[in-house]
Amino acid sequence: MSERIVLHDVRISYAHVFQPHAFEGQEPKYSAQFILPKDHPEAKKFYTALVEKAKEKWPAKVANGKFPGSLTCPLRDGDAEFEDREEYQGCYFFNARSAKRPQLFQPDKSQLTEDDNLLFSGDYVNVSVSLFAYDKGGNRGVGVALLGVQFKRKGEPLGGPGDCTDDFEEEEAEAAANDDLF
């Protein structure tokens, strides 16, 4: 049985929601990383759902409401894993992916398309995910399937070269010369 969770007002990063993405030798999938502050009102609910999903599969391993070290927990600590990245400080993060394209929505719930030129890494979204337990090749834990994303509002872009507007001075256009450059 899968557990569907909706998290509101989280930050999206490494957003591959319009086109599937793969590293060499892997099957292409739709994916994204989601960043939520440690004091986010839904962080505890999400963690509790992860523990409950693990309890369903491995009741003897999960005790005292804690995720055991013998299982992989998808909710990770940004302070510990990204010490040099400001956007992860004071936050948790998790990855979600799917072989099927997730449903993508505008704030008004109309369909969101790549042509809308919205939804970039750093933006704030609502996300619908499904939790599942896995036990494959010696790896055990709880995974997160990406079901849908609703754009909420623009955020500071993450990654990439950033805005270079201030790199240039305003110049007067020069007449094109027909001289050979070389």
* 8 Å CB contact between 157 and 122: yes
Q: Which H helix or E strand runs over 51?
A: helix 43-57
State the CATH number of the domain containing residue 130: 2.40.50.140
**Domain of residue 77, residue span:** 3-160
Domain presence at residue 177: no
* 8 Å CB contact between 116 and 160: no
The string of pLDDT tens digits covering residues 70-83 is 899 999 999 999 98
Statement: the pTM of the whole predicted model exceeds 0.85: no
The string of pLDDT tens digits covering residues 125-150 is 999 999 999 998 888 999 999 999 99
Helix (H, G, I), strand (E, B) or coil at 5: strand
Question: How many structural domains comprise the chain?
Answer: 1
